[in-house]
């Protein structure tokens, strides 16, 4: 009740204009092993080489710091998404293109993340690979541990994943190479969040 929003003279729009880009949030959601971090890394690398300012918020990396106190219950996953969304909004307000790579299994919380963006362009990218394909890849050995009972509350095994119904972009990473998927994301940005002046 006693906390009010403090206004400042410098706006998010001005910060983005100084970087000659449209700030936005790209929210990559999908099962573990679907390729979220791989595609986000390729997109950030390409944007950086083009002179644009981007930053990845990766779910695993955030759990080493900002979200290190959270587990993997449904309640903890909701809070993990909320904190990440608030951080993404702050970085976008600083003028950055923010790439969030997070399983983010629940539709309601992904919708909340879009609301938290508060008018900043927000694009939900479904990195879609079937559970069987993600288990086949299993780059971190997590599915094997989940199947053996060593990990509980694992998305896709004993915790639900609610696939997006109308994502801004769907990437079929079972049939598309990572580089091709990254190109699709860059094309989305070119259409929906172009640089000022078409740069």
Residue 109: pLDDT over 90: yes
Q: What is the DSSP annotation of 64-78?
A: TTTTTT--SSHHHHH
Average pLDDT, the chain: 94
Q: What is the CA radius of gyration of the chain?
A: 17
pLDDT of residue 198: 55
Mean pLDDT of 120-128: 98
Q: Rounded distance, CA 52 to CA 44, Å?
A: 9
pLDDT of residue 56: 98
Mean pLDDT of 40-54: 97
**Is residue 134 within 8 Å of 51, Cβ to Cβ?**
no
Strands lying side by side in the sheet with 122-128 = 54-58, 97-101, 24-29, 122-128, 169-172
pLDDT confidence tier of residue 1, bands split at 50, 70 and 90: confident
Residues labelled as active-site residues: 104
pLDDT of residue 196: 77
Single out the residue of 137, 104, 119 nearest to residue 34, CA to CA: 137
In tens, the pLDDT along 30-41 reads 999 999 999 999
pLDDT of residue 128: 97
Q: Between the CA of residue 50 and those of 20, 47, 114, what are the distances in Å?
A: 11, 5, 27
**Is residue 95 within 8 Å of 111, Cβ to Cβ?**
no
In tens, the pLDDT along 50-104 reads 999 999 999 999 999 999 999 988 899 999 999 999 999 999 999 999 999 999 9
**Is residue 67 within 8 Å of 56, Cβ to Cβ?**
no
Q: Rounded distance, CA 38 to CA 17, Å?
A: 28
pLDDT of residue 4: 87
Tokens of 38: 């791989």
Residue 197: pLDDT over 70: no
| Of the candidate ranges 38-47, 134-143, 165-174, the one whose mean pLDDT is the lowest | 134-143
Q: Rounded distance, CA 19 to CA 53, Å?
A: 7
């Amino acid at each position: 009740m006693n906390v009010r929003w403090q206004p400042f003279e410098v706006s998010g729009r001005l910060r983005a204009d100084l970087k000659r880009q449209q700030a936005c949030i790209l929210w990559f959601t999908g099962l573990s092993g679907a390729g979220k971090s791989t595609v986000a890394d390729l997109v950030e690398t390409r944007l950086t080489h083009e002179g644009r300012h981007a930053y990845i918020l990766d779910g695993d990396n955030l759990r080493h710091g900002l979200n290190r106190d959270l587990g993997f219950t449904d309640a903890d996953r909701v809070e993990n998404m909320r904190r990440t969304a608030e951080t993404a909004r702050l970085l976008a307000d600083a003028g950055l293109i923010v790439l969030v790579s997070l399983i983010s299994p629940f539709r309601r919380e992904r919708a909340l993340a879009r609301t938290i963006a508060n008018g900043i362009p927000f694009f939900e990218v479904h990195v879609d690979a079937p559970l069987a394909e993600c288990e086949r890849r299993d780059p971190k050995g997590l599915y094997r541990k989940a199947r053996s009972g060593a990990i509980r509350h694992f998305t896709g095994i004993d915790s639900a994943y609610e696939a997006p119904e109308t994502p801004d972009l769907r990437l079929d990473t079972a049939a598309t190479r990572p580089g091709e998927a990254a190109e699709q994301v860059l094309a989305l940005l070119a259409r929906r969040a172009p640089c000022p002046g078409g740069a």
